[in-house]
Structure 1
């Protein structure tokens, strides 16, 4: 398999024989949304991606909303030719649930576009700007008499570009690491000389990684991609000389998919749960036939070690906040016994949030798992060695990610990792604790099934709620929630980390972060509210979003009570809420009406406005308020 795993996107199924015919019929397809995603979900070549992008371009603006894809406007500047790359970016983004609108700067005019406030990029209201710049622009040819000075110049050039786009476009940059060319000047001695291009690129990347944390920018680690496929495959000298392609056509589908993953993570579309089959997926053999002692698992056996590697990767994902679940056609008691008693099991029962070992079909099991964890099916990744089971899930639950697996289990772990389903743009202690949140959700579901009625269930949870304004400590998690929340999100406005920081110190804005704790543990941050002053006596709810894992517990009433308290303290007599309908937030269509707001009507785009007085909220659920929002001066927030 070698680097073909990455170059050919082998975790994706190959295009079916009728792929081209279905592409031609796309604009007339009655189920166009499903067909668009289906066509993009395969391992497509550069040419196939380009053909798909052309067909997508024929879909009218009025039809795009019905596709269920999240729009993202991306500015792109480069020292290379983007004519062949941009269509691949557009088509690959669909695979990650995104309708990508690319605003491309003129060839080679990177600094001009960054510095001109009226330039194509800066005036396009982009959500991010991709700096598709390779070593040829930033690192000088050959050696130099003053390597440190040359390196400083390259660093300063990139820093100036990033700063200019942030100031003039109001958008963060997506910054690429640099890929060294495969050719060396001194052979094995090359890295030891500070003046060589290879050494300078290594120093440049190290400095870039070191200062990313102090910026709102995102990292696209192109150097890591090139390591995976080999720099000789990444760069094609003939394509550079003929067409100025800085990424070879052979490698560009992988690059495009990687960018799609990153944009998906920015929009909160990364997967959150890995569902594992058991027999011949995380251990060798069938436990019902071979018994625990007959399973191939553990050191000393190449096949057994391969399955250990799969479990190790799953455990590592669990450690960074990905929930683990089991879906296996198996006897429950026997399957659990392997987790408890087999000495070479890396995974244990306490790693598993939901254990579905039964004889039901796996589509039903996956739906049950998503329900138990309060996750959407689009959050799941299903790992199964059986091609028939994979095909069934793709057919019945197309939003579930199902990686193709090779016949050799030695490559299972690498294939899962290569697929990049769990792409991250940040990592916090709350991410580490998330697997505990999911496990607790499953326990709550069990408790709800035993309770006589809703009031008894809510009372038994012993809930405590805390409200606080946005602060520096919670800023990263707040930005994550704003990006990821789609179902319980009244306006689906998106604010990045930089904008969240600005909101925290805006004197015309009041912000709320909400945390919930119960008898099963800390749920973490579950809701975010942004209030804006409209007039002296009216405040508007700019954004209100909430994690679906706490639905049905009365949290929204408690949040409304806090909104009312804050508005009254500011002298307001009215609160206005706005609902902007999307294909994914139908859940909250009646939210304001259910909370006692009165309709103010709809605009031409179907956005509805709702109004309520600041009279106290009655009939609150049994949730103890452990902390309310304090009136904190903006200056003190900024200093945190």
Structure 2
């Protein structure tokens, strides 16, 4: 005979429904005392308790003047119950929204009323997995599939169960994403990771098609790189790569380990020289099970020593080639204890190198790395003042009352300012964005604890205007897209307003505790560079020079006077080993002044530079009276006898409109003439962002000669037409 349902979890013997009802009624009658002692109530399965009895429970607590504790409110809401507005208002955001959803009937006006709360909630980082799943389940029950999917995508890393729950909507979402073909290889079984990559890359905006190599086929794939995919993903694990036969002499163990390290290092070199696709590969995590105990890092047969050596070879390969993208295993797995990185049963059962949790972490890390490489980090950090960069309110507390110094909480705000300086040193532009009196900017000079200074900011808007409007203006002044901006503000209302009014801007949820913020900002992958060049570090100084030039232009009587006063210098050079990384970076990031938007990588540019008879890659470094703008203009040219084709021509927005581009093309034409070229072809391929260069070749004296695909072809006949140039730019060569 089937056992009757029980509303008390853990009951071991059959109990009649009537008896259970009496027990629940008695607990509800004694609710105030049960809450005070935190007994009995946690044992009840509230999904089986009717709503009117839950109302009696809440009413009983109200009469006793006891607030509904969070530990009780959560199971009530997860079970589908609703709470009074007074009880709901005392709850954190996620549970308050869940209560409103439990009470909703799916009407359009309810959906509109909850839209803002749901949008803001998606960015919260403190929602536990159970609550996230309940929210998605309720949204789907209301047929609010779009809201369910957006929330599930935003919470996918912390609550993957929620994304699985929204499976149907997620698959429809994936169908509209760009395709990414991945070859999956590894030192052990890769099937589990291949399955996890599908949703992980979907969250980042790609629909994956994954083919797997044979078991342990990593060396073969590196030596013979696939050419029919968009990326090769390699998962390395310690047991599969560094298994040891301890019957051998210790010297043999050391020798074999060294040979395996060399084999991988050499295979990575071959890949870098031959591959046409990027490689995403992980380092090995710190081993939690040493082979030589305390000596593990010093002894030749120590596992930690071998792991360190192998990881060094991987990092060396990445330093030598931008095609090798390394996922740091220790960073990817930092949320797990080392002993949880592997699951012995999975290894012995199916040669699966990592635990389920670790595999999920690796999937997220690989997808995140791909997003960083493809889209790059943000370029601008726009940051608030009050209770963000310092503690307190400038207008209320004055400079002396602001918390920023050696003592808590001032030291936490000071540490966040140090993090801002770190990001500036890596090329991010700092922008001050504060609703405040104009004098608030002076606090950085007047307060002795401030690490940041006013001139650290590339731009500022300190006024009472809406921050969204101020940011739009600043982005236009800097000639940068709003999608390159990261906005930090302690106010949930300002964050929500920025998300709604300027959805292109990245607006993360900051921790409430100032002590958590410095470490949180370091972990924020939107700021992580894929590769750093000397120009990245100098970018803030470059924009300072650009701002000074703009001020000069505002004072000049005419545009010609402004150009003359700039004293511009263009230094031309062919791409070298030192500059190839910057050249590739420009090809990946430049969109506006880019005639073809062909995204050449380091290997493509290096191959062209290595054979002068085939063509060349030319760079231009610009400086003026205010400073050095760095390497800002580049072109690659193919030469075929007396004819040359400008394959790519692009320039940073920093110096657009100052005739640098004309001087550069004139020097390029002159170089081609010295090599016996008579005709130079240029191609313009229109995109959504490069309309500003539609007529560039015509302005330089090129003539239209037809079309090529979606583009137009322009030709310059050397000797028949005067090469372009500029009287306002002095050119020189560095050969």
Superposition TM-score, scaled by structure 2 size = 0.73
Which residue of the partner structure matches residue 243 of structure 2?
140
Decide whether the 8 Å contact of 2:280 with 2:366 is kept in 1. Answer: no
Decide whether the 8 Å contact of 2:704 with 2:713 is kept in 1. Answer: yes
1:502 aligns with 2:502: no
Which residue of the partner structure matches residue 171 of structure 2?
54
Deviation at 1:202, TM superposition (A): 3.0
Q: What is the CA–CA distance in structure 2 between the aligned matches of 1:450 and 1:25, rounded to whole Å?
A: 60
Q: Deviations over 1:451-501 (max 9, x none)?
A: 344323322222111211112222221122122223322222223223322
Deviation at 1:597, TM superposition (A): 3.5
Aligned counterpart for 1:356 among listed residues 446, 461, 466: 461
Aligned counterpart for 1:124 among listed residues 223, 228, 238: 228
Decide whether the 8 Å contact of 1:122 with 1:165 is kept in 2. Answer: no
Q: What is the CA–CA distance in structure 2 between the aligned matches of 1:524 and 1:37, rounded to whole Å?
A: 41
Q: What is the CA–CA distance in structure 1 between the aligned matches of 2:586 and 2:336, rounded to whole Å?
A: 34
Q: What is the CA–CA distance in structure 1 between the aligned matches of 2:594 and 2:142, rounded to whole Å?
A: 36
Q: What is the CA–CA distance in structure 2 between the aligned matches of 1:495 and 1:13, rounded to whole Å?
A: 41
Decide whether the 8 Å contact of 1:574 with 1:612 is kept in 2. Answer: yes
Which residue of the partner structure matches residue 433 of structure 2?
327
Give the SS at the match of 1:294.
Answer: coil
Q: What is the CA–CA distance in structure 2 between the aligned matches of 1:219 and 1:242, rounded to whole Å?
A: 29
Change in Cα spacing, 1:48 to 1:55, as seen in structure 2 (3 Å) is farther
Q: What is the CA–CA distance in structure 2 between the aligned matches of 1:235 and 1:574, rounded to whole Å?
A: 63
Q: Deviations over 1:155-206 (max 9, x none)?
A: 0231243244345544453332101443456765654554343343234324
Q: What is the CA–CA distance in structure 2 between the aligned matches of 1:451 and 1:21, rounded to whole Å?
A: 60
Q: What is the CA–CA distance in structure 1 between the aligned matches of 2:539 and 2:208, rounded to whole Å?
A: 30
Change in Cα spacing, 1:627 to 1:322, as seen in structure 2 (3 Å) is same
Aligned counterpart for 1:77 among listed residues 185, 195, 199: 185
Deviation at 1:516, TM superposition (A): 0.7
Change in Cα spacing, 1:208 to 1:111, as seen in structure 2 (3 Å) is closer
Which residue of the partner structure matches residue 4 of structure 1?
none
Q: Deviations over 1:59-108 (max 9, x none)?
A: 3xxxx6xxxx7x76543312344445346545545666666665542343
Deviation at 1:210, TM superposition (A): 5.1
Give the SS at the match of 2:670.
Answer: helix
1:519 aligns with 2:625: yes
Q: Deviations over 1:112-141 (max 9, x none)?
A: 4344x5xxx523154x53321111222124
Give the SS at the match of 1:354.
Answer: strand
1:450 aligns with 2:555: yes
Decide whether the 8 Å contact of 1:487 with 1:587 is kept in 2. Answer: yes
Q: What is the CA–CA distance in structure 1 between the aligned matches of 2:186 and 2:492, rounded to whole Å?
A: 41
Decide whether the 8 Å contact of 1:11 with 1:416 is kept in 2. Answer: no
1:314 aligns with 2:417: no
Change in Cα spacing, 1:540 to 1:311, as seen in structure 2 (3 Å) is same
Change in Cα spacing, 1:125 to 1:591, as seen in structure 2 (3 Å) is farther
Alignment of 1:164-203 (within 5 A): 164-166=270-272, 169-171=275-277, 173-184=279-290, 190-191=296-297, 193-203=299-309
Decide whether the 8 Å contact of 1:133 with 1:176 is kept in 2. Answer: yes
Give the SS at the match of 2:504.
Answer: coil
Decide whether the 8 Å contact of 2:283 with 2:326 is kept in 1. Answer: yes
Deviation at 1:411, TM superposition (A): 0.9
Which residue of the partner structure matches residue 532 of structure 1?
638
Q: What is the CA–CA distance in structure 2 between the aligned matches of 1:593 and 1:528, rounded to whole Å?
A: 19
Q: What is the CA–CA distance in structure 2 between the aligned matches of 1:55 and 1:88, rounded to whole Å?
A: 18
Gaps of 5+ in 2: 1-121
Deviates more, 1:220-229 or 1:408-417: 220-229
Decide whether the 8 Å contact of 2:175 with 2:207 is kept in 1. Answer: no
Which residue of the partner structure matches residue 116 of structure 2?
none
Which residue of the partner structure matches residue 255 of structure 2?
149
Q: What is the CA–CA distance in structure 2 between the aligned matches of 1:238 and 1:321, rounded to whole Å?
A: 46
Deviation at 1:567, TM superposition (A): 2.8
Give the SS at the match of 2:232.
Answer: strand
Which residue of the partner structure matches residue 627 of structure 1?
732
Q: What is the CA–CA distance in structure 2 between the aligned matches of 1:453 and 1:24, rounded to whole Å?
A: 63
Decide whether the 8 Å contact of 1:81 with 1:246 is kept in 2. Answer: yes
Change in Cα spacing, 1:469 to 1:23, as seen in structure 2 (3 Å) is farther
Decide whether the 8 Å contact of 1:130 with 1:174 is kept in 2. Answer: yes
Aligned counterpart for 2:713 among listed residues 603, 609, 627: 609
Superposition TM-score, scaled by structure 1 size = 0.83
Decide whether the 8 Å contact of 1:98 with 1:264 is kept in 2. Answer: no
Which residue of the partner structure matches residue 3 of structure 1?
none
Which residue of the partner structure matches residue 280 of structure 1?
387
Give the SS at the match of 1:515.
Answer: strand
Decide whether the 8 Å contact of 1:93 with 1:260 is kept in 2. Answer: yes
Change in Cα spacing, 1:315 to 1:598, as seen in structure 2 (3 Å) is same
Which is greater in Rg? 2
Which residue of the partner structure matches residue 296 of structure 1?
403
Give the SS at the match of 1:130.
Answer: strand
Change in Cα spacing, 1:588 to 1:137, as seen in structure 2 (3 Å) is farther
Which residue of the partner structure matches residue 635 of structure 1?
none
Gaps of 5+ in 1: 1-8, 631-640
Q: What is the CA–CA distance in structure 2 between the aligned matches of 1:107 and 1:49, rounded to whole Å?
A: 30
Q: What is the CA–CA distance in structure 2 between the aligned matches of 1:595 and 1:402, rounded to whole Å?
A: 42
Deviates more, 1:472-481 or 1:17-26: 17-26
Which residue of the partner structure matches residue 588 of structure 2?
483
Alignment of 1:244-283 (within 5 A): 245-252=352-359, 254-267=361-374, 269-283=376-390
Decide whether the 8 Å contact of 1:375 with 1:549 is kept in 2. Answer: no
Deviates more, 1:92-101 or 1:105-114: 92-101
Deviates more, 1:393-402 or 1:81-90: 81-90
Decide whether the 8 Å contact of 2:666 with 2:724 is kept in 1. Answer: no
Deviation at 1:556, TM superposition (A): 1.9
Which residue of the partner structure matches residue 213 of structure 2?
105
Q: What is the CA–CA distance in structure 1 between the aligned matches of 2:697 and 2:196, rounded to whole Å?
A: 42
Which residue of the partner structure matches residue 466 of structure 1?
571
Aligned counterpart for 1:544 among listed residues 636, 642, 649: 649
Decide whether the 8 Å contact of 1:509 with 1:533 is kept in 2. Answer: yes
Decide whether the 8 Å contact of 2:380 with 2:431 is kept in 1. Answer: yes
Q: What is the CA–CA distance in structure 2 between the aligned matches of 1:488 and 1:35, rounded to whole Å?
A: 40
Aligned counterpart for 1:404 among listed residues 506, 509, 512: 509
Decide whether the 8 Å contact of 1:377 with 1:400 is kept in 2. Answer: yes
Q: What is the CA–CA distance in structure 2 between the aligned matches of 1:590 and 1:46, rounded to whole Å?
A: 50
Deviates more, 1:87-96 or 1:590-599: 87-96
Q: What is the CA–CA distance in structure 1 between the aligned matches of 2:588 and 2:143, rounded to whole Å?
A: 34
Alignment RMSD, CA only?
3.6
Decide whether the 8 Å contact of 2:156 with 2:162 is kept in 1. Answer: no
